[in-house]
Amino acid sequence: MRLSRRTFTKEFKEAAVRRLELEAAIAEVARACEVNPNVLHRWKRELRDHGAKAFQGNGKGRAEQNRVAELERKVGRQALEIDFLERCLQHVEEQRKLQALNIRLSPTRASKKK
């Protein structure tokens, strides 16, 4: 049997963190809110780091931000690969042109015999 994940409102989380800020013991607040103390620590950190923007949505925003960041990194890597391959192609073209030029300029056996 799989338990569903509990969700808490922004107000609930802020109230729990306020209780912590009023010098209540973490274990006491965790028992009263029926959450793990680690969850309270995370809520407190999120509120401190993000202020009014903390606890937006139901947690999917952060996953979407991670996905966007991952895709941006991938695009960056591909851009670097494209730049590298373009430089390689340019080098090969330069070598091909030099080789073609050297073949035309080098004396042939027929011209040496004359």
Domain boundaries, the chain: 8-56
pTM for the model stands at 0.47
Alpha-carbon distances of 69 from 57, 72, 74, 83, rounded to whole Å: 19, 5, 9, 21
**What is the pLDDT at residue 105?**
78
The C-alpha atoms of residue 21 and residue 45 are separated, in whole angstroms, by: 12
59: pLDDT strictly greater than 60: no
**Position with higher pLDDT, 4 vs 59:** 4
Taking only the tens place, the pLDDT of each residue in 21-30 is 888 899 999 9
